[in-house]
Amino acid sequence: MSITARFYANTPDGKEVTLFTLENSKGMKAEIINYGGTIVSLYVPDKDGKLADVTLGYDNLKGYLEDDGTYFGALIGRHANRIEKAEFELNGVVYKLAKNDGENNLHGGIKGFDKQVWDAEIIDWEGKEGLQLTYFSKDGEENFPGNLKVKVVYVLSEDNGLEIHYYAVSDKDTVVNLTNHAYFNLSGHAAGSISGHELMINADQFTPINNEGIPTGEIRDVKGTPMDFTKLSPIGPGFDSDDEQIINGKGYDHNWVLKVSGKEPEKAAELYDPASGRVMEVFTTKPGIQFYSGNFLKGSGVGKGGAVYNKRSALCLETQYFPNAMKHKHFPSPILKAGQEYKHTTIYKFSAR
Ligand code: BGC
């Protein structure tokens, strides 16, 4: 595995953004910029060994700066997904956040971690090279409490795993829920609809949402619903079902309750594209996963190589604490106590068959 770095662009306020290329001996390649810690491309072999870039994105920084809420490939924080009415209570204090999704807070607010330039360094990671990104989120940034030191390490393994190791520590009690928002189309980023992809999610339950995408607090069995991905199943049929949950999400946009221990990365999901034979397995230590089927992609903006990304031309599998967990105390808690370490790993592992 090797990592190389080159100049990418300057932000309008003069900060330098670098593009890092992570490559292994199997030909797999990930390109990541330190603006938002964004995965800008991910080249993965198909069943004949042919490489394709399987993540959506833009050709230049301008694209990412002007992005209208897709969060293509970015690191999300301080709190991924939605917080109802954009407020939460912690230690008797109510913290009011930005309402950047109707009445609610989404993906950390107006200027979340996806819009920050992270410090970057190529480090030794257990004998391999790793890309370490660090960001210091000040007490009160986006109204979250506590000075938070965040570290994310990307490693590309020889078995085609893109590992994402997340760490954070705060000087006050706070909430932390970090994820990556890559959009995948295993036929290639410009290949069009993902309705032929097949998905398995290692979960018997999911968290139903209201019509604003907010978990209601209920934990419901997937059995007998379009949410049943206990076995590898095509995702297309569920899109157009008249199930109340699909209507509320305008497609799939839900959190599944993973059957993982949280102690070490365990298999959370598998995505398979029969057309290319590419397989992506997701391993994680986090308790939940958001399967979002690209319902709000509008074909606006120009993607990589002039690609137009229409509705459902890619999907996200975002590992996370359940959205809105501060309101529902029976959900695993996203509270990070002062001085304690937030530590999670997610691996997107690729193969073909
Ligand atoms: C959310 C979607 C949202 C998308 C892009 C996903 O994590 O669940 O509702 O549209 O991110 O912002």
Q: Is the CB of 322 under 6 A from ligand 1?
A: no
8 Å CB contact between 186 and 195 = no
- Chain centroid offset of residue 171 CA: 26
Distance 158 CA to ligand 1 centre (A): 31
pLDDT in tens, 60-76: 999 999 998 999 999 99
- Give the residue numbers annotated as catalytic, written as ranges: 181, 318
Question: Cis omega before residue 278 (within 30°)?
Answer: no
Q: What per-residue confidence (pLDDT) applies to 302?
A: 87
318 Cα nearest atom in ligand 1: 7
Please name the residue ranges forming H helices in 193-239: 236-239
**DSSP state string for 270-312:** EEE-TTT-EEEEEEESSSEEEEE--TT--S-S--GGG----TT
Does any ligand 1 atom lie closer than 6 A to the CB of residue 273?
no
DSSP 249: H
| pLDDT of 1 | 81
Residue pair 288/258 in contact (Cβ under 8 Å)? The answer is yes
Give the separation between CA 11 and CA 92, rounded to whole angstroms: 39
Is the distance from CB of 40 to CB of 19 less than 8 angstroms? yes
Q: How far is the CA of 20 from the centre of ligand 1 (A)?
A: 26
C-alpha of residue 292 to centroid of ligand 1, in Å: 7
Q: Is 71 in the pocket of ligand 1 (CB under 6 A)?
A: yes
- pLDDT beneath 70, residues of the chain: none
Closest CA to 104 of 212, 266, 258, 257: 212
The per-residue pLDDT for 323 is 98
Nearest CA, atom 7, ligand 1: 81
Residue ranges per structural domain of the chain: 2-352
Task: Domain 2-352: give its CATH code.
Answer: 2.70.98.10
What's the token pair of residue 247? 């209507």
